[in-house]
Amino acid sequence: MLGLSIWCTNLNLSSRSLAIVLIVTLTLVYFSYSFNACLLASISRTLQQSNLRNLLSLTTPPQSQDKTIALNGSSTSSSSSSSSSTTNIDGSDSLFSNSSSDGASPKYQLLRQQGLRPLRNLPSTLIIGVKKSGTRALLEFIRLHPDVRAAGSEVHFFDRHYQRGLRWYRHHMPYTIEGQITMEKTPSYFVTKEVPQRVHHMNVSTKLLIVVRDPVTRAISDYTQAASKKADMKRFEQLAFVNGSYSVVDTNWGPVKIGVYARYLERWLLYFPLSQLLFISGERLIMDPAYEIGRVQDFLGLKRVVTEKHFYFNATKGFPCLFKSEARSTPHCLGKTKGRNHPHIDPNAIERLREFYRPFNNKFYQLTGINFAWP
Ligand SMILES: Nc1ncnc2c1ncn2[C@@H]1O[C@H](COP(=O)(O)OS(=O)(=O)O)[C@@H](OP(=O)(O)O)[C@H]1O
């Protein structure tokens, strides 16, 4: 300071100038110190978050094992939750209970030391359908994103277990940290009458993802699944039409009924604006999965992390598969129940069904503002 003073005197500066120089110097030192401190804090926070994300992705909750649709094609059991977490007073579940054996393990101790507290949250996004249109593929593809955490199995809360309450539902959700989206898929939600109102009641801002596919192919896929479980199943043509001829379509038969998308969509639109719904083409999800997943990421406000680099086309299976996923680090396809061979169906029956669906498809294009160009 003395040196600076002498230097200033030598320069014949007045004491006013000296004071200004001092203030400027001290201000610069202060700002430089604050900037560095902020930068270090921010870097440390980013590292903590990324550690936590890695740990969470290694921690698959028990219910995320999908009995029928395991990625490796094998059948795994979908036990009800045996997690040792506790439910908080507000209904949210903390991963860090004192009595929790999970909470006592070293990896969670690390998170606790960092003051981070993963919680189970109600889903903010639902894949509501449509059955046999590619809903599993959509879920497995979008959950490659580090900011998406999903319940692995279909929870069926809004259609089958509604009476159990939101607390039960929340307990079936995976743990998330701030910034991560909780997602669930149950394809029967789309066609179940009470569901739109119930979802609206849970959260008016819920985002809804709907995969749709040519209703005729969808009906055949639905039938193929049912026939795979029942040896003496009648032929598709016998079930899809009344009285054995192709003149009257049996609109009460589930596989046919579900394909009248416009009818179900109208119910959803009574509760949600079109802007909260995203329609994904089941056909394009097979031809160009990166394109459709790109749209989904944009819709959910996510950075485009899942890209064409994640997919490869498996010629044997005839479907896009994944290089790696949360569950497996080696290339793999969806399970055996996805991408089945369909039985041969009389082309006249197919043509009659196409004719039947045409007006409903047009109505659906009109409601969604998208022409899916189904034949
Ligand atoms: N990548 C990939 N791999 C395999 N299968 C794929 C894929 N993308 C879409 N699909 C189509 O998904 C159809 C099954 O639809 P869902 O997953 O919605 O079925 S379910 O409602 O959950 O049972 C399934 O129907 P089927 O071909 O009749 O088996 C497929 O056509």
Q: Per-residue confidence of the chain (375 residues) as pLDDT tens digits? A: 444 444 444 445 466 766 676 776 776 766 666 655 545 555 555 545 555 555 555 443 333 333 323 332 323 333 333 333 333 323 344 444 333 333 444 544 565 567 778 999 999 999 999 999 999 999 999 999 999 999 989 999 999 999 999 999 999 999 999 999 999 999 999 999 999 999 999 999 999 999 999 999 999 999 999 999 999 999 999 999 998 899 999 999 999 999 999 999 999 999 999 999 999 999 999 999 999 999 999 999 999 999 999 999 999 999 999 999 878 899 999 999 999 999 999 999 999 999 999 999 999 999 999 999 999
Which one of 78, 142, 336, 338 would you pick to mutate in the ligand 1 pocket, going by the greatest count of ligand atoms within 8 A of its CB? 338
Is the domain of 46 the same as that of 130? no
Same domain, 47 and 138: no
Output phi, psi for 61, to 5 deg.
Answer: -65, 155
Last residue of a domain, one of 41, 58, 75: 58
Residue pair 142/311 in contact by the 8 Å Cβ criterion:
no
Domain boundary among 24, 41, 58: 58
Residue ID of nearest Cα to ligand 1 atom 13: 134
Q: Are residues 127 and 36 part of one domain?
A: no
361 CB within 6 A, ligand 1: no
**Ligand 1: residue whose CA is nearest its atom 27:** 339
Whether residue 14 lies inside any domain: the answer is yes
CA distance 23 to 17: 10
Name which of 305, 336, 304 is nearest 319 in CA terms.
336
Domain check: are 37 and 133 in the same one? no
Tokens (6 digits) for 72 = 């490796």
Q: Which of 67, 126, 132, 288 most suits a substitution to test ligand 1, by most atoms within 8 Å of the C-beta?
A: 132
Looking from the CA of residue 185, the nearest atom of ligand 1 is 22
HEC sequence for 189-213: HHHCCCHHHHHHHHCCCCEEEEEEC
> What tokens does 310 get?
């994640």
Told to judge if 67 belongs to the known catalytic residues of this protein, a careful annotator would answer no
Instruction: Report residue 288 CA to chain centroid gap.
Output: 18
Whether residue 7 lies inside any domain: the answer is: yes
Measure the CA–CA gap between 30 and 128, rounded to whole angstroms.
55
**CATH number of residue 140's parent domain:** 3.40.50.300
User: What's the gap in Å between 47 CA and the centre of ligand 1?
Assistant: 38
Does a structural domain hold residue 84?
A: no
**210, part of any domain:** yes
| Ligand 1 center–CA 158 separation, angstroms | 22
Q: Is the CB of 215 under 6 A from ligand 1?
A: no
Is the domain of 52 the same as that of 137?
no
> Which ligand 1 atom minimizes the distance to the CA of 69?
22
| Tokens 């400027």, residue located | 24
342 annotated ligand-binding residue: yes
- Alpha-carbon distance of 122 to 79, in angstroms, equals 20
Q: Which range of residues forms the domain containing residue 282? A: 122-368
pLDDT for the residue numbered 102: 39
E-strand stretches of 283-331? 311-314, 319-322
Which atom of ligand 1 is the closest one to the Cα of 340? 29
Q: How many structural domains does the chain have?
A: 2
Would the pTM count as exceeding 0.80?
A: no
How confident is the model at residue 31, as a pLDDT? Answer: 61
